[in-house]
Structure 1
Amino acid sequence: MKDSFFRSMTWLHTWVGLLTCWIIYVIFFAGTVSFFRDEINLWNQPAIHNVQAQTDRVAAQRMQIVKGFDYLSHHGAGSNSWRVTLPEQRIPYLVYGYAKPKEPGQRRSQFVNTQLNPITMQELPPFVDTKGGNFFYRLHYQLYYLDAITGRWVVCFASFFMLLAIISGVVIHKRIFKDMFSFRRNKGGRSWLDAHNLSSVLALPFHLMITYTGIITLIFMLFPYPALTTYDNGMRGFFNDVTPSNNVTNKAQGSAAMLPINTILDQVYTKWPDADIRSVRVSEPNMAASTVTVLVDPGKALRDQTPRLLFSGATGELVDQSADELTNSKALYESLNSMHTGRFATPLLRWLYVLGGIAGCVMIATGCIMWAKRIRERSKGKASLGLQLVEGLNLATIMGLPLATCAFFIANRLLSPTLSGRDDKEVTAFFLAWLVAGVIALIKRDKLQWRVMAAINALACLSVPVVNALTTNGNIVSYLMHKQWALFIFDALFLLFSILFLVQTEKLRTATKAKCSPSSSRSNTSKGQKA
C-alpha cells in the first residue's frame, strides 16, 4: 500500500486497468457491435435485402402460423421438433423449420429451415452460411478459440478488474463535474488525460451499469454454491425450480393427431389479446406426448425471459405458463439482465447504448495510451521490454480490431456462397487481419506505425460498402432511395469511420513531420545550449 488512501487508490486504478485493458477493450468493442446484431445478420444475408417489413405484422401472425403448420406437417413428417419463427421489427423474414434425426455423436439435432417473404409468402433464395452478428455476441462474453466456460471465466475476472478500475477512478477524481466540460487540444499528455476523463465521466452511469450487470448475467457460474448445497441435483434442480415451465414433460404414450393450431391460438389470444408472438415450437408432433410452446415478445418490459404458454398438442390443454408476476428477487435479476442486453430498447435507446459503448472504448484506449506515454517520457527514450509490450498491445488491439471487423464483412461478400465451412472462414479472416496488425505492432510501435494502421483502416472501412456494391444488387444510394435504413446506416457508418481514420492519418503525418522538422531540431538544440 502507498502512504495515503488517495495514492493507494491511484495505484489500484492504474494497475487493475492496465493488466486487463486489452481484454476489456475487446469485450467493450464486441459488445458495442453486438447491439446491432440483428442488423448485421440482415446485412450478411443479401437474400433478404429486398424483403420489406410488414406494416400489419402482428395481425398476419395467425395466418403465418397456420400455413407454417400445414407446411411442416408435409415436409417435417417424422421429425421430433417443429418451429415457426415469426418476423420481428428488426428481423423481416419468416422461418419454418424442422429437426432432422440426430447423427451418431451429435449433441443436438440439425434444423432444416425454410425462409419466406412474409408479405408474398414466397420462399427466399438460400441463405449463405455466416456467423453474422452472433460472432461478435459470442466474442463479447466468452471470447474465441477457448472453451466456452473458460472464456466466460476470463471475461468475468476482467469485468471485476474493470469494476474496480471504475470505482477507484471515481474515488481519485477530484474534479469529476468540472472535467465533464474540459478538453484541452494539442497539449500532449494533458490532452490524453482530458480525453480519458471526458469519456469516463460523461458515460459514467453507463460504464457502471454495463460492467456490473455483465457480471450479474454470469452470476450463477461464478457463485453456484448456494444451489449446489440446497438442491440434490445442483444447478439443474435450481433452474427447474426457478423456471418450472422448462421442465414440464408429457408422459402420454403412443401416437395421436394434433389439434388444429387455431384451437391453441384462440386460447393464446384470449389470455393475451394483443400478443406479439415470436415463435411457436412443437415437441414430438403427432404423438400423444406432443407439446406446443408459444413464446411472446415481452415488449418494452425490463424482462429478459420470454413469456410463454405451454399446451398439450393432442388435447389443447394449457399445461404450464410463465409467471405473470415475478418474485422480487427474480424481477431484480431479470431487470439487470435486460438492462445489460438492451433487448427492450427502442431505436433511440439502442443508439444511446452504442454511444455509451463507444465512450467505453475511448476511455479504455486513452488510458492505455496515456500510461505508455508517461512511462516513455520518464524513461527518456530508453524503453523497457514491458513498455514495448504495452505499446505493441495498444497498437495491435486499438487499431487491429477495426481492421479485423472490416475483414470479417469483406470476407462475407467475397467468399463463395457454396464454400464448405464458410462461416468459419469469415472468423478466420477476422483473426488473420488482427494478426497482421499484431505483426505491424511487433515491428515498430512509433507514430509512423500508428499512421500506417490508420491509413490501412481508412482503406478497409471504405472497402466494405464498395465491395458490397460490387457483389450485390444494392448500394448506399439505392438503400437511401428505397428507405432501407438498416442497410443504409450500415454502409454510411463505414464511410464515416473511413473519413475519421483519414483525418487521424493526416494528424499523425503532421505530428510526425513537425517532430522531425529542422526548425524543431534547432529549437531543441538552442534550448540545450541555454541550459
Structure 2
Amino acid sequence: MKGRFRQSMNWLHTWAGFSFAWLLYFIFVTGSLGYFENEIDRWMKPELAITNQDIADEIVLNIAEKELHQHAKEASQWYISYPSSRDPYIEISWLQLADPNLNIPRQWHEKNIDLLNSEIREVRNTSGGETLYRLHYNLHYMPLVAGYILTSVGTMLMLIALVTGVIIHKKIFLEFFTFRSNKGLRSWLDIHNVFSVLPLPFHLMITYSGLVLLMSVSMAPVIESTFGEGRAKHREFYDLAQLELTDTQRIDFASQTLSLSAVLADAKTRFGNKNISYLGITNRDTASPTYEVWFEAGKGIEYASLVTYSLSERYIEMTLQQGKAGAAAKVYDILEHLHEGLFAGPYLRWLYFISGLFGAGMVASGAIIWLKKKQSKDTDTLPLLSRLNAGFIVGLPVGVACYFISNRLLPVGFVDRAEWEMHSLFIALASCLLFSLFYKRASLWPKLLYVAAFSYMLIPLINALTTDHNLLVSFFNQDWLMLGFDISMLVTAVLLLISAITVGRKEQVC
C-alpha cells in the first residue's frame, strides 16, 4: 500500500511540476529580481540626484513643497518621498486628474529633486524594477485577470509538487548531501535535490503565501456567493477583509494651522524616534483634506506605519494605524509581508533572492530530468521540447540582460521608451527560442550559455560608455549601489561562462 501510494505521488509530482514548468521558472526568476526592485530602479535611473548627507526633515519639506506648488498646483494629491538606505534620493509625486476635453488621462507624475541646486532633476522614463517585479504575477501582455488566474493555477501545482516531492523522497535530507558527478540522469537528480531541499521552507512559504495573495481570483466564486458579482462587490469584500485597527485622537492645534509643516512637526514630537518615509496630502483644495505621515518600521515584518491627520467638524483628528482588525486579515497581512520581503535588510534580502533562484534551478532541473527520462522513447515531440526547454531556461536570463542594456541604449527621448524596455526582454527571449529550434542540438546549451555570459558582461561596459557611472567612479564616490549592481552583473557573467565551459565538455544536457 505504501509503495503504491508513493508511486502515485511520484506521478503527481512529475506532472504537477512539468506541466507548468516554464511558467514557474519565469515566476521564480522575475519574482526573485523583485527583491531588489528599489536597487534596480536606482540603476535604471542614472540621472537621479543622490542625497548622501543627513538633511533636516523641514528643509526637505520646504524645497519639495516649493516644487510641488510650481509643477503640481492643481493636483488633488501630493507625496514627498524622503531619502532612505535603499532609496537615497528625494522624490515628489502628484496625481494628475483626467481631463477628457484636453485628452489628458489620469496619471501619476514623479520628479527627482536635486537638493544641492534646489531644482528638479530630469530622469529618463523607464519601466524600472517595479515592472520587472510585477511580471511574476501579471505576465505583462495578457489581460490582468487572465494573468492572475494562470499564476494561481501554476502556484497551486507548485505547492502540489513540493508536498509530493517530500513524500516520494524517503531519504530527502540524506540525499541532499550526496552528489554523483558524471552520472547522467543520476547527477541531475542530485542537482535537483540540492536546489529543492536547502531552501524548502522558503519554497513552501513563498508558494503558499502567493496562493493566498491571489485568493480574490482563485476563490472568486466563494466571494461572489456571499457578496455578489462585479468589481464593486469584490472591492467591498476586500475593504472588509483588510479593515485596519486604528486609534483616533483629537489634536489641540487650530484647524487653520493644518498643513504639511504642522503635521510634520506634530508627528516628530509624538514619534521622534522614527524616520520619516513619506509625507502626503489627499483631497487638496477641498473642505476636508487628509494629511499622511509614513514612518519606516523599526522592527518586525512591518515595513512602514501610517499616521493621518484630518479635519472633523471643528477638530483635528489624528489616526494611527495599529494593524489589521480581524484574525484572518492579520494572517493575510503576515503572509503578504513574508512573501514580499519589504521589511528585510540587505542580508535577508540576499537570502530571499538566492532562495528564489534555487527555486528557478529546482524547476529547470526538474524539466531537464523529465526530458532525459523520456529520451529513450524519442518521439517526434521530445526533440522539439528539448530545444525549447534550452531556449527558455537560458533565454529568460538573456532577456533580463537585454532589458538592462536597452535602458542604456534606447534614446532618452524615445517615444514609449519604458514599454520598449519590456519589449526588448521578450524579443530577446523569443530570439533564443527561435535560435534553439534551428541550431544543432548537441551544442545548443553551451552556445546559449555563452550568449548569456556575453550579455551580462556587456552591461557594466555599456553603463560606463553611456553614463557618468563606472566601477571606478562608483567606488571613489562611495556609490555602493551602482558599484554593487555592476559587480553583480560581472559575477553573473562569470558563473554563466563557467557553466558554458562545463556543459561544453560534457554530453548534451538533454
Using structure 1 for the length normalisation, give the TM-score.
Answer: 0.86
Deviation at 1:3, TM superposition (A): 7.8
Distance change (3 Å), C-alpha of 1:123 and 1:66: closer
Counterpart of 1:47, as a letter, is: E
Residue of structure 2 in register with 1:482 after alignment = 477
Counterpart of 2:339, as a letter, is: H
Q: Distance in 1 between matches of 2:327 and 2:32?
A: 30
Q: Does 1:23 align with 2:19?
A: no
Residue of structure 1 in register with 2:93 after alignment = 97
Q: Distance in 2 between matches of 1:172 and 1:420?
A: 53
Q: Is the 8 A contact 1:258 1:314 kept in 2?
A: no
Residue of structure 1 in register with 2:249 after alignment = none
Aligned-pair Cα RMSD in Å: 2.8
Partner secondary structure for residue 130 of structure 1: coil
Counterpart of 1:36, as a letter, is: F
Distance change (3 Å), C-alpha of 1:77 and 1:503: closer
Larger Rg: 1
Residue of structure 1 in register with 2:332 after alignment = 333
Q: Distance in 2 between matches of 1:422 and 1:416?
A: 8
Distance change (3 Å), C-alpha of 1:135 and 1:246: farther
Q: Is the 8 A contact 2:301 2:344 kept in 1?
A: no
Partner secondary structure for residue 293 of structure 2: strand
Deviation at 1:27, TM superposition (A): 0.1
* Aligned ranges 1:262-411 → 2 under 5 Å: 262-303=261-302, 306-312=305-311, 317-318=316-317, 320-323=319-322, 326-376=325-375, 378-379=376-377, 383-411=378-406
Deviation string 1:410-445 (CA, Å, 9 cap, x unpaired) is: 111011001111011111111111111010111246
Instruction: Name structure 2 gaps, 5 residues minimum.
Output: 247-254
Q: Does 1:111 align with 2:108?
A: yes
Q: Does 1:35 align with 2:32?
A: no
Instruction: Name structure 1 gaps, 5 residues minimum.
Output: 248-255, 514-531
* Aligned ranges 1:43-442 → 2 under 5 Å: 43-48=43-48, 51-54=50-53, 56=54, 60-104=56-100, 109-118=106-115, 120=116, 122-225=118-221, 227-231=223-227, 234-243=233-242, 259-303=258-302, 306-312=305-311, 317-318=316-317, 320-323=319-322, 326-376=325-375, 378-379=376-377, 383-442=378-437
Count, aligned residues: 496
Deviation at 1:472, TM superposition (A): 0.9
Deviation string 1:349-380 (CA, Å, 9 cap, x unpaired) is: 0010011011111111111111111211x22x
Q: Does 1:495 align with 2:494?
A: no
Q: Is the 8 A contact 2:245 2:325 kept in 1?
A: no
Larger RCO, structure (CA 8 Å, separation 6 or more)? 2
Counterpart of 2:106, as a letter, is: S
Q: Distance in 2 between matches of 1:62 and 1:199?
A: 49
- Name whichever of 464-473 and 61-70 sits farther off: 61-70
Counting aligned pairs with the same residue, the percent is 30
Q: Distance in 2 between matches of 1:498 and 1:442?
A: 24
- Name whichever of 125-134 and 269-278 sits farther off: 269-278
Partner secondary structure for residue 374 of structure 2: helix
Deviation string 1:315-370 (CA, Å, 9 cap, x unpaired) is: 77126442357543222111110000000101010010011011111111111111
- Name whichever of 231-240 and 460-469 sits farther off: 231-240
Deviation at 1:90, TM superposition (A): 0.7
Partner secondary structure for residue 322 of structure 2: coil
Deviation at 1:482, TM superposition (A): 2.6
Q: Is the 8 A contact 2:274 2:298 kept in 1?
A: no
Deviation at 1:185, TM superposition (A): 1.4
Distance change (3 Å), C-alpha of 1:121 and 1:172: farther
Q: Distance in 2 between matches of 1:313 and 1:113?
A: 31
Partner secondary structure for residue 332 of structure 2: helix
Residue of structure 2 in register with 1:250 after alignment = none
Deviation at 1:244, TM superposition (A): 5.7
Deviation string 1:263-304 (CA, Å, 9 cap, x unpaired) is: 222332344332322222222323212222222333433237
Q: Is the 8 A contact 1:391 1:445 kept in 2?
A: no
Q: Distance in 2 between matches of 1:300 and 1:179?
A: 38
Query: Which of residues 460, 466, 479 in structure 2 aligns to 1:471?
Result: 466
Q: Distance in 2 between matches of 1:510 and 1:244?
A: 59
Distance change (3 Å), C-alpha of 1:161 and 1:289: same
Query: Which of residues 441, 454, 458 in structure 2 aligns to 1:459?
Result: 454
Q: Is the 8 A contact 1:259 1:316 kept in 2?
A: no
Deviation at 1:184, TM superposition (A): 1.4
Deviation at 1:44, TM superposition (A): 0.5
